[in-house]
Chains A and B, each alone.
Chain A
Amino acid sequence: MFFQRQFGTRKPRRRTHASTGCKIRACYPYLQDTVSKLLASFFKEDKTRLGGDATLLMADMLKIFVQEAAVRSLKQAESEDCDQVDIEHFEKILPQLLLDF
């Protein structure tokens, strides 16, 4: 619903790929279009395009990036015995996260 408002009423692209595409499509239906637009907005040349499979893989990779950041921050907060994950926990794991990606 949120993405629909942002990018007009486009139906999610129909991909008949089963597991990878479906998992991402099921949980985050507009993610593929968003990822495609997101990466395309950073391309320096206009003629550069993103292939369909590449979009799926990049969506996966970005999801892993966010999950890694979240899980590492959680572990850091757990090791410091805090109830809430605060910015200091994220700051501590950020350097290694960026080096790993």
Chain B
Amino acid sequence: MSVDKDETHQRLKAAVHYTVGRICQKMGEDQRRRFSRQVVAAIAETTFRQCDIFAKDLEAFARHAKRSTVSTEDVKLAARRSTALSIYIQNKSEELNQEQRDLKKKSTGKRKSRDTEEENKE
């Protein structure tokens, strides 16, 4: 079991390293500076460890609320340390809720028009 877990972690670390490399490359292009390979590896490792902290926090918050699924409320709590970050996350989650509501309106609208079309056909 632990061997599988190690393998999963290795793969995930590689995936994180790749994405971090891409983000660093994009940021470096704007400023015309390169990131040394050590720095990319260090950022990837730090991100990986920060994920561990986030995951444990999210799990604890969900368990505290007597839930087994992590929700957006837990994520908002996890972002509480920095004011700017927590405001950003709150805005993003409101955006997501708004889009969900718009989608529901669209789908009920389509259903209504489809029903009236069928009625007309009959």
Summarize B's interface: helix, strand, loop or mixed.
Answer: helix
Interface residues on B, range: 35 or more
| B2 within 8 A of partner (CB) | no
8 intermolecular pairs with C-beta atoms under 8 Å apart? A48-B59, A48-B68, A65-B47, A71-B27, A74-B33, A100-B81, A101-B81, A101-B82
Interface residues of B (CB under 8 A from A): 5, 8-9, 11-12, 14-16, 18-20, 22-24, 27-28, 31, 33-36, 38-39, 42-43, 46-47, 50-52, 54-56, 58-59, 62-63, 68-72, 74-75, 78-79, 81-82, 85, 88-89, 92-93, 95-96, 99-100, 103
Interface residues of A (CB under 8 A from B): 2-3, 6-7, 16-21, 28, 31, 34, 37-45, 47-51, 53-54, 56-58, 60-67, 69-71, 73-74, 77-78, 82-87, 89-90, 94, 97-101
